């Protein structure tokens, strides 16, 4: 579904040249949930922005369903960390979720149905007429997730979406993502700096090296498919996997 082939990204500006990504080759199968982790500043956001068609690549290619990405693909949705900046404050929750559906030119009845379904899925039916600034951070991020889900994307990209919320909300949002992912079968690439989160959510965890980045390891997460915050996180295998990823990231930092 998603193919990243020898992607290289160099930021060039007068007097400054930063090679953020040296070479990344990575595939995500239809319906897979893959997490990407790496040391701070290694190029995770750069990778996601290139995949989303928001940044031009310097070399290599990204394809969605075989079609090269040259700008934001129509069947992709992105959830960013800064929910405060990704929602329009002058619009209600309902209007925020509906906006991309209008751009997709869906008929009003279908738009209403998708908005209602997605707000129900994230537990925000009662907040449809509120404005984002009237909601807590966790609720705002759920609006951003509802907007992405309502769009019915083939590919969902998430860039540290829970970094700015408290631990309890974060656990709830992680479970929400797992539930939506299972229900909808959407292909998901999830960038996080949180090793536990990556192991808890992912079917695979891709560990990136320090910048200029390459793939250090593509690790299959052989935990039972049904995940639960208490049971899964207390499995000995969970501890082994998180320890392994932690050591890989330490190694990556050491090689800087």
Chain residues in the site for ligand ATP (CB under 6 A): 11, 18, 20, 38, 40-46, 193, 211
Residue 247 DSSP SS3: helix
What's the CA angle centered on 65, arms 59 and 69, to 5 degrees?
35
Q: Are 214 and 208 in contact (CB under 8 A)?
A: yes
Q: Which of 84, 2, 87 is nearest to 36 (CA)?
A: 2
Residues 6+ apart with CB under 8 A from 156: 76, 77, 78, 79, 148, 149, 181, 186, 187, 188, 189
Q: Are 149 and 118 in contact (CB under 8 A)?
A: yes
Q: Are 158 and 176 in contact (CB under 8 A)?
A: no
Beta strands in 107-186 (DSSP E): 155-159
* Structure-token pair, residue 237: 């295998």
Residue 191 DSSP SS3: strand
Give dist(CA 195, CA 200) in Å, integer: 9
What is the Cα Rg of the chain in Å? Answer: 18
Q: Which of 200, 187, 118, 123 is nearest to 158 (CA)?
A: 187
């Amino acid at each position: 579904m998603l193919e990243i082939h020898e992607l290289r990204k160099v930021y060039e500006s007068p007097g400054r040249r930063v090679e953020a990504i040296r070479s990344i080759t990575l595939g995500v199968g239809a319906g897979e949930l893959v997490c990407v982790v790496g040391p701070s500043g290694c190029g995770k956001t750069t990778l996601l922005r290139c995949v989303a068609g928001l940044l031009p690549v310097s070399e290599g290619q990204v394809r969605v369903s075989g079609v090269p990405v040259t700008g934001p693909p129509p069947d992709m949705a992105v959830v960013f960390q800064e929910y405060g900046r990704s929602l329009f404050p002058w619009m209600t929750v309902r209007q925020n979720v509906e906006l991309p559906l209008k751009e997709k030119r869906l008929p009003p009845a279908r738009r209403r149905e998708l908005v209602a379904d997605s707000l129900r899925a994230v537990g925000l039916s009662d907040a449809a007429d509120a404005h984002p600034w009237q909601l807590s951070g966790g609720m705002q991020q759920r609006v951003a997730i509802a907007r992405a889900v309502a769009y019915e994307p083939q590919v969902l990209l998430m860039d540290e979406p829970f970094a700015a919320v408290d631990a309890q909300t974060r656990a709830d949002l992680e479970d929400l993502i797992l539930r939506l992912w299972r229900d909808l079968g959407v292909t998901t690439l999830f960038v996080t700096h949180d090793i536990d989160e990556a192991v808890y959510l992912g079917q695979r965890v891709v560990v990136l090296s320090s910048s200029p980045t390459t793939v250090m390891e593509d690790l299959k997460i052989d935990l039972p498919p049904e995940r639960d915050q208490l049971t899964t996180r207390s499995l000995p295998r969970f501890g082994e996997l998180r320890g392994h990823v932690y050591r890989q990231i330490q190694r990556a930092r050491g090689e800087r």
